[in-house]
Amino acid sequence: MADHKPFSPFPFFALLLSSLLLCSPMGEEGRRHAHEDHGHAGPAPRLQTFVISVQQPESATFAGHEDRERWYRSFLSENAAADDVGMGERRWVYSYHEVLTGFAARLTEEEILGSLHLHSATTHSPEFIGLHTGSGLWGGGATGGRLGEGVIVGMIDSGVTLGHPSFNDDDMPPPPSRWKGSCQPPKFCNKKVIGAKTFISGSDSEKATPADDDGHGTHTASTVAGSFVKGANVLGNTYGTASGVAPHAHLAIYKVCTGNKCQASDILAGIDAALADGVDVLSISLGGTPGLFIFSDLIAVGAFRAIKKGVFVSCAAGNFGDSDTVINDAPWILTVAAGTMDRSIVASVKLGNGSIFQGQSAFQPAGFTRKLLPLVLPGANLSDTAPAFSCKPEYLVGVDVKGKIVLCKGGRGILNFDKGTAVLKAGAAAMILMNAEFQRGTTAVSAHVLPASHVSFSDGSKIIDYFRRSNNPTVSISFEGTKLGFSSPPAPEVASFSSRGGPNVMDTHILKPDVLGPGVNMLAAWHSPVGPPSVNPDSRDDAYFNMISGTSMATPHLSGVVALLKSAHPDWSPATIRSAIMTTANIRDNDGNRIIFYGSLNKTADVLAIGAGHVNASRADDPGLVYDLVPTDYIPYLCDFGFVDDTLKPGLVGELVNCSTLPRIAREQLNYPSIAVLLGKKSPTVAVNRTVTNVGEADEIYKVEVEAGGGLAVSVVPQTLRFSAVKEKQSFTVTFSKPGGATELSFEEGSLRWVSDKHIVRIHISVVIDLLE
């Protein structure tokens, strides 16, 4: 994961947070206010992009896109609506058609305050780190040889590198006839990449192309549906045949990020186009900062419109590591956490006193000396947190590093790649890169520009200790190549950077993340050569690959699994597919033990880190029972948030809903494939209903098995479910009661499994006990 610089800051408006923004009634009143703003000349006003949701009157019909845009513009002051260039900038950004009734425009705060209720178009960044498997985890026909045929996956990302062999279309059929998309420019398309459009506001749309200037989009797209490429390698480390998870699925590319930045208004425009074009799955490895309310989250808004059209949405859980940091957590999204795989590319660090630490590097120079060399710590005389430790280039000036090995700490906003470049430039022989404390244990197999080894925080701390105690600190690095299929450490383990849910603020009543996928040191296609210029292995045919890490890399694995399932079961709804993935996930590693946190001395990962567990595509193909949902099931869930005037405005769900006309249903009753409840003084007992649908054999009998910690009392009625038809539905009630000796605040987890002769259908349960409530 290297520098897991997660996402950029998320500029936000209090106005937006407090007013259920996207759901703003924009009748005459809004219009009047907007016009009152007209002519108001503030001092040097700053323009920002706002997404504005308006309510379409039932009487309004539009002749076409132009007509609709004219109506949208009527909400703005004349200056703003007229593409006024008085402020040196174009004001109009997008009209939306599918994701919401509304538009994006560049406005001043003055222009919007008190009038339009908006949503700030925030700056998002794709996560930038990470690393992939050579042979595609389940590329080999998890679903009876259907490798994603006929399925179209929309990538909302930084574009694609057409011409890379991962996107060749030799084995591909033409796009399905229902496909309405296109490529701009047309030469960007083949039968693998069947759509490619660019939404980078502010750039010259004539010149903007879907070409990937970052690598992230190429990597994620090839992970979902890359074609088979023999001899894929990073710097000569070969991994055999690379392929995406669904190698026969089609890709539609929506470039919404450039230079590692993505605007929310662009993301929404990309989703808007993808829905109009007719994608089946959306893969979104992007996001904002944690804690965003569901109604203010533009990705949640776009995703809701997607599932209304039967389009599956999988998103990254975030790279923030700690508790309570999950993003993209709306209940209609599949939220994906990242774990390791059983592969490392070893670069061992040996100290002068004999201690050895196992680090990693993708660059494995054959002739590198095994001799001990002097160890240098720039800024060694300063405190441990001094910037010098991070190998900021200016701190290397004047330090004698010639022919020595330099220790650099991760983080401080300097990419690992840039640290390596600075150390190489200063004349060092090699680099040891250690994680900063917040980066903990997960190390990256990176294509460094010089001989290097990436070690964990705890190993790095021992190296610093050795440096300080020794009069003549020396060190060597030996490159030992690829280790595969080992069980020490076991795999998968939860990546240190993978965002976790929180027991304290379980405000959604839906536990997130949902599932763990491979996201550490993932090999996939890349847009440019990597590593030292001298070693450029393979200029053969631009077949560049790179290893990077992040929940960004785990997400396309799941999107690929979804494509496989959709291809094999065209009638499965998005909720059915998600349920199939979650109820069949593994909670154990390849040693048969519970999945642990990376580098944690066997600390079991809880549901807040892994959700249902690690995906197993073959088992998801035959789940037995599913917890299904239709889009309208989310309405009572949303109403349960409670609003002053008791209405759900159209911003999020696309229609005006009067909640007081609906039965009140508590959020935990949503038929989700997990259960999360709060037991408190007022509610010492909570009963939750769930309904399962039979997608296994017609005649199957299931018995319930419950596991719960902390003396929780959990009862299930009925205990047996007998099915006699496919698609038959049956309901059950789970009652949770607080244990006798409960402390004031505690968190317990467990599982509920329906077990037949052929299937085990497992959901995870979690209970917050808060006796102060």
Ligand X SMILES: *[C@@H]1O[C@H](CO)[C@@H](O)[C@H](O)[C@H]1NC(C)=O
Cα 23 to chain center, whole Å? 25
Nearest distance, CB of residue 577 and ligand X, angstroms: 17
Nearest distance, CB of residue 381 and ligand X, angstroms: 4
Nearest distance, CB of residue 717 and ligand X, angstroms: 8
Nearest distance, CB of residue 376 and ligand X, angstroms: 7
- State which residue, 182 or 616, has the beta carbon closest to ligand X: 616
For residues 143, 147, 149 and 153, what is the CA-based torsion angle, rounded to 10 degrees? Answer: 110
Residue 413 amino acid letter: G
Residue 62 amino acid letter: F
Closest by CA to 273, choosing from 295, 253, 243, is: 253
- State which residue, 480 or 591, has the beta carbon closest to ligand X: 591
- 120, 50 contact by CB (below 8 A): yes
Nearest distance, CB of residue 355 and ligand X, angstroms: 4
- 691, 731 contact by CB (below 8 A): yes
Phi and psi at residue 150, in whole multiples of 5°?
80, -5
Say which residues have a Cβ less than 8 Å from residue 603's Cβ, sequence separation at least 6: 596, 597
Count CB neighbours of 572 within 10 A: 21
Give the position of tokens 């108001």: 40
The two tokens of residue 534 are: 């001298």
Nearest distance, CB of residue 343 and ligand X, angstroms: 14
4 half-sphere exposure, CB direction, 13 A CA radius = 32
Q: Is 552 a catalytic residue?
A: yes
Catalytic residue among 124, 164, 216, 248: 216
Rounded Cα distance, 547 and 361, in Å? 10
- State which residue, 61 or 381, has the beta carbon closest to ligand X: 381
Rounded Cα distance, 116 and 24, in Å? 8
Cα 755 to chain center, whole Å? 31
Nearest distance, CB of residue 246 and ligand X, angstroms: 17
- State which residue, 504 or 632, has the beta carbon closest to ligand X: 632
- State which residue, 203 or 660, has the beta carbon closest to ligand X: 660
Catalytic residue among 95, 446, 552, 766: 552
- State which residue, 6 or 623, has the beta carbon closest to ligand X: 623
Residue 79 amino acid letter: N
Q: Is 400 a catalytic residue?
A: no
**Residue 250 — left, alpha, or beta (φ > 0 → left; ψ -120 to 50 → alpha)?**
beta
Residue 44 amino acid letter: A
State the DSSP H helix or E strand holding residue 224, giving kind and residue range, or none if neither.
Answer: helix 216-225
Rounded Cα distance, 695 and 679, in Å? 33
- State which residue, 369 or 586, has the beta carbon closest to ligand X: 586
DSSP state of 609: H
- State which residue, 81 or 406, has the beta carbon closest to ligand X: 406
Which residues sit opposite 159 in a β-bridge? none
DSSP state of 52: E
Nearest distance, CB of residue 467 and ligand X, angstroms: 8
Q: How many residues does the chain have?
A: 773
Q: Is the dihedral of CA 422, 424, 425, 427 positive or negative?
A: positive
Catalytic residue among 157, 212, 214, 266: 157
- State which residue, 22 or 657, has the beta carbon closest to ligand X: 657
- 273, 254 contact by CB (below 8 A): yes
Residue 489 amino acid letter: P
- State which residue, 141 or 173, has the beta carbon closest to ligand X: 141
Q: Is 757 a catalytic residue?
A: no
DSSP string, 349-376: EEETTS-EEEEE-S---TT---S-EEEE
Rounded Cα distance, 554 and 12, in Å? 28
Nearest distance, CB of residue 374 and ligand X, angstroms: 11
Rounded Cα distance, 560 and 555, in Å? 9
Closest by CA to 108, choosing from 91, 125, 122, is: 91
Nearest distance, CB of residue 356 and ligand X, angstroms: 9
**Residues that bind ligand X in the complex, under the rule CB under 6 A:** 351, 353-355, 380-381, 462, 465-466, 469, 586, 591, 593, 601-602, 616, 618-619, 645, 647, 658, 660-661, 669, 689, 733
Q: Which residues are catalytic?
A: 157, 216, 552
